[in-house]
Amino acid sequence: MTDPRIALAERVASADGVSPLNEASRIAIAAGEVARVDEVVRDGDDVVGAAYAAGDSPVELYVDPARRRNGTGRALLEELLRRGERQFWAHGDLPAARSLARTAGLEPVRTLLVLERDATTPLPAERDVEGVTIRTWQDADAAGLVAVNARAFASHPEQGAMDDADLRARMGQSWFDPQGLFVAERAGEVVGFHWTKIDPPTADGGEVGEVYVVGVDPSEQGRGLGKALTLRGLHHLTSSGVRRIDLYVEGDNTPALATYRGLGFSEAARDVLYAV
C-alpha cells in the first residue's frame, strides 16, 4: 500500500508537473525515518495536505490540488512558523508558492536550477586527463567516493552530508545501475566521479537521463577533470537511448553553469528555498 504522503505527492506532481518532495525525502519516508517535521492534514479519511523534513533539511509543504484556495496551506505554514521552522522549499517555484511565501514574509535565499538538453544534439568528443583513468564503479570505491564527495561538496547542505549509509540507500533504489556510475582514479585513489541516472519513461514517451552528481576532489580542480567526467556520463546516457538529459545545479555556481550551457543545456525549471 502506498504511503499516503507519497500518494498525495504523486497527485500534486501530476497536477503541477513537478514533485513536491525531493528524492532524499522519498527515501526517508520509504525507510520509515523519524522526521523533524512530519505533518498531515486530513479531511475525514483523506490526506489533503502534508509537510515533511528529515534531519536538518528545509520543510517541503504541499496540498492536494483539489483542496487548494481554502487556507489549508497557509494554516499549515503558519503553524510550522509558530513552531520555529524557518526554511521551506518551493519546487518549481510556482506562482501559488511564491504568493504564499510572500504573504508569510519569507524571502528567497537559494535557487536550484533544473537544466535540460535534447539527447539527440551532438556532443563534443570525450577527453582524457593526463594521469587519470575513468572507469565504472567497483564496490571497493565506496570509501573513496564518500570522501571525495565530502570534500567536493563541503559547502553544499544536502549532497555534502552523504555518508556510507546514504550511499547504500541511493544504490538500493530501483534506478541504480553500476554501469552508469563513473569513477576517476589517479595513482589508485578516487579523485572524482559522475553518477548518472535514468528515470522511468515519462507520460509523453521516452526515458529521461540525469546528471545525478558530478564530484571532483578540490586537489584536481582546474585540470579539466570535471568536464571529462561530465562528457563520459553524457555519452553513456545518449548511447542508452534517452530522449532528454536533465541536471540540477546551484543558481550561483557560475563555473558549472558555464560548462553545462557550453554543452547545450538550458534552464527548464527552478526550485527556490524561502526563509524567514
The Cα–Cα gap between 212 and 266 comes to 16
| φ, ψ at 118 (rounded to 5°) | -70, 125
Q: Is the sign of the CA dihedral 39, 44, 47, 48 positive or negative?
A: negative
The Cα–Cα gap between 192 and 183 comes to 6
Lay out the sheet containing 189-199: strands in order across: 37-43, 46-53, 59-63, 87-90, 266-275, 107-118, 244-250, 208-216, 189-199, 181-186, 133-136
Residue positions in the annotated binding site?
A: 23, 61-63, 158, 197, 210, 214-216, 221-227, 248
Identify residue 45 by its one-letter amino acid code.
Answer: D
Scanning the structure block, which residue is given the C-alpha cell 557550453?
262
Q: Hey, what's the cell of 98? A: 511564491
The Cα–Cα gap between 100 and 77 comes to 9
Residue positions in the annotated binding site for acetyl-CoA?
A: 61-63, 214-216, 221-227
The Cα–Cα gap between 268 and 55 comes to 29
Residue 107 burial (10 A CB sphere; 0-12, 13-18, 19+): exposed
Residue in 141, 128, 206, 150 with CA at minimum distance from that of residue 171: 141
Q: Hey, what's the cell of 248? A: 540540477
